[in-house]
Amino acid sequence: MAEYAGETRWTRKHQAIVEAATELFLSKGYLGTSMDEIAASAAVSKQTVYKHFSDKDQLFSEIVLATTGQVEERMQRVASSLEESSDLRGDLGKLARTLLAALMEPKFLRLRRLVVATADHFPEIGLAWYEAGFEKGLAPLAERFKSLSDQGFLATDDHVLAVHHFVGMLLWIPVNKAMFSGDHQSSTAELERYADAAVKAFLAAYSIQSVSLETSLAGRSSEPGAQRRTMRS
């Protein structure tokens, strides 16, 4: 019983240290946070902090890398909404809004900003966070896009690139705004506008109808006399 109680105290203190350090890192940055502050915020001694973590680098690494699963889980949850689609524009619109809402949460944006800010000091952490979190999280969405392509909705052979284009159009404006300004709040109306615009642009490039129309117009432009007709018009 005593051993069990000891393990429980260790776990609780470990969690308290992690939670305190997370809040301090997110609010003050890596360089602006000291182990003394972490100990005080967690209501433990500095010696206790060092019993759980050899130094601030190890503590920071554990906190950041522990969130990669959260990123992947969010992406998988969103991707599951595209299991089947009978209304591509409508379903992509719902997915876009859900994805933006998940990735634009203030705490998640602060974490992203922290990882970017410390990438030079911790390049291996930044790369791991990207590969194990964001990039791995895009994989199930790429599978959904492949399925949509197989069903004749999308025209693409590179489903991973298509997903990057889709997500890139969604995140470019709001994420850059948050990263550069530090303002992590976006209104629902703003995010919905970005989502709708991204879907419209994506379908203009990747939908079967758009690609078929572009191919048809290209074919007409190569017909004899087409150039003259174009110039006259």
138-176: pLDDT as tens digits: 888 898 899 888 888 899 999 999 999 999 999 999 999
Q: Is residue 225 part of a domain?
A: no
Residues 6+ apart with CB under 8 A from 210: 155, 203, 204
Residue 2, pLDDT above cutoff 60:
no
Are residues 48 and 75 both part of a single domain?
A: no
Which of 14, 38, 63 delimits the end of a domain?
A: 63
pLDDT of residue 1: 38
Q: Is residue 191 part of a domain?
A: yes
pLDDT of residue 213: 40
Q: Is residue 148 part of a domain?
A: yes
Give the Cα separation of 52 and 42 in Å (integer).
13
Q: Which amino acid is residue 172, in one-letter code?
A: W
Residue 216, pLDDT above cutoff 50:
no
Number of Cβ atoms within 10 Å of the Cβ of 107: 12
Are residues 38 and 146 both part of a single domain?
A: no
- Confidence bin at 44 (pLDDT 50/70/90): very high
Residue 45, pLDDT above cutoff 90:
yes
Kindly report the CATH number assigned to the domain that includes residue 77. Answer: 1.10.357.10
Give the Cα separation of 126 and 168 in Å (integer).
19
Are residues 125 and 146 both part of a single domain?
A: yes
Give the Cα separation of 129 and 67 in Å (integer).
8
Give the Cα separation of 71 and 129 in Å (integer).
9
Coil, strand, or helix at residue 201? helix
Are residues 119 and 208 both part of a single domain?
A: yes
| Between 47 and 71, the higher pLDDT residue | 47
Q: Residue 215 corresponds to which tokens in the numbers above?
A: 């191919």
pLDDT of residue 191: 92
Are residues 17 and 72 both part of a single domain?
A: no
Are residues 184 and 105 both part of a single domain?
A: yes
Counting the structural domains of the chain, the total is: 2
42-46, 87-91, 213-217: least confident range: 213-217
- Confidence bin at 85 (pLDDT 50/70/90): low
Q: Is residue 203 part of a domain?
A: yes
Are residues 18 and 91 both part of a single domain?
A: no
CB-CB contact of 78 with 98 (8 Å): yes
CB-CB contact of 122 with 60 (8 Å): yes
| Between 197 and 229, the higher pLDDT residue | 197
Q: Residue 53 corresponds to which tokens in the numbers above?
A: 């973590």
If residue 178 lies in a helix (H) or strand (E), which one and from where to where? helix 159-181
Which domain, by its residues, includes 97? 68-214
Q: What dihedral angle (degrees, nearest 10) is formed by the CA atoms of 154, 159, 162, 168?
A: 140
Q: What dihedral angle (degrees, nearest 10) is formed by the CA atoms of 114, 118, 124, 129?
A: 10
Q: Is residue 35 part of a domain?
A: yes
